[in-house]
Chains A and B, each alone.
Chain A
């Protein structure tokens, strides 16, 4: 079968057909009624809906982090207290050297 000829004939048949442009009775009234019936956009409601939708993933993440902090294996204890080390470093310059170390 000559498919190219079939395609040409079918497209030619489609070209000859012009779809009807008739409009159903009172269609414009239906459109206007749909426009009037359309709910107005309430920005507060949209914002609240967004917050509610975000709440569930946030709770999920919070639970995961809580579980991780509880069940994660404890790290080996630090060699010394961090706050004590910080204090030593800051005050090192202000700490007077012992008199015994002084040489004349």
Chain B
């Protein structure tokens, strides 16, 4: 008979490390999907997810069970992704001269006909990924949570541990930062 989540957590807290494995198996897909929003290389994604599980194991004794385990784990995941972004700020202020052919085509088509350009093009997705990489870690996190995942300010506050006013301030700054990057892109590509 399959044990419930509460039973597994209680067993791990009592020192049965093997009971942690079913939790890892059950929730890894969600953790991987979240980590893939912040890291491009698969090796980096795996490192983030492993770090999340190591932290979860370490901090499990502090889990009071007031909120569902999944929510607690997602908070841990978002904070680990943020730590990853802060530790890997290498691509910021990179030039847009290395855009792929598809990305350049998409931009040129957009410049000629802004309304008709398809939003679901793979090139657009790669371009937005490139732009997000040039944002500061808090800006990237806020844009991803607020604009891409369409979460509320309250939810972001819970996930990040930032206060609601701080989320609002960071969202405002993130939008300004993103517009600055877009202006630079337009200038460099002569659009």
Give A contacts to B, CB under 8 Å: 1-3, 5-7, 9-24, 27-32, 34-36, 38
Contact A35 B127 (CB under 8 A): no
Verify if B111 is at the interface (C-beta below 8 Å from A).
Answer: yes
A7 touches B21 (CB 8 A): no
Quick check: B147 and A13 within 8 Å, CB to CB?
no
Q: Answer whether residue B32 sits at the interface, using C-beta atoms and an 8 A cutoff.
A: yes
- Closest Cβ of chain A to B145, distance in Å, is 12
Contact (Cβ within 8 A) B46 A14: no
Contact at B33–A21, with CB atoms within 8 Å? yes
Interface hit among B3-11, B88-96, B115-123: B115-123
Indicate whether B20 reaches chain A with its CB closer than 8 angstroms.
Answer: yes
Given known A9-B117, A13-B121, A35-B17, contact A23–B28 (CB-CB < 8 A): yes
Secondary structure type dominating chain B contacts: helix
**Quick check: is B53 within 8 A (CB to CB) of the other chain?**
yes
> Which residues of chain A are near B150, meaning CB under 8 Å?
15
Q: Is the CB of B125 within 8 A of A13?
A: yes
User: Is the CB–CB distance between B110 and A23 below 8 Å?
Assistant: no
**Cβ distance A64 to chain B, nearest Cβ, rounded Å:** 37
Q: Interface size (B, Cβ < 8 Å)?
A: 45
Docked Cα-Cα span, A13 to B29, in Å, equals: 23
Roughly how many angstroms separate A30 CA and B24 CA in the complex, as a whole number?
Answer: 10
Q: Is there contact, CB below 8 Å, between A12 and B114?
A: no
- Knowing A23-B28, A32-B24, A35-B57, the reply to whether A13 touches B128 (Cβ < 8 A) is yes
Q: 26 pairs across A/B with beta carbons < 8 Å?
A: A1-B111, A1-B186, A1-B191, A7-B179, A9-B114, A9-B119, A10-B124, A11-B143, A13-B119, A13-B120, A13-B128, A14-B132, A15-B147, A16-B120, A19-B33, A20-B36, A21-B29, A22-B29, A23-B28, A23-B29, A31-B24, A32-B24, A35-B20, A35-B53, A35-B54, A35-B57
Does B178 lie within 8 Å of A7, measured CB to CB?
A: yes
Q: Which residues of B in the span 30-46 have a Cβ within 8 Å of any Cβ on A?
A: 30, 32-34, 36-37, 42, 46
Assess the A31–B53 pair: CB atoms within 8 A.
Answer: yes
Contact between B33 and A20, CB atoms less than 8 A apart: yes
- With CB as the reference atom, state the residue of chain A lying closest to B52: A31
Contact of B186 among A3, A14, A29, A34 (CB under 8 A): A3
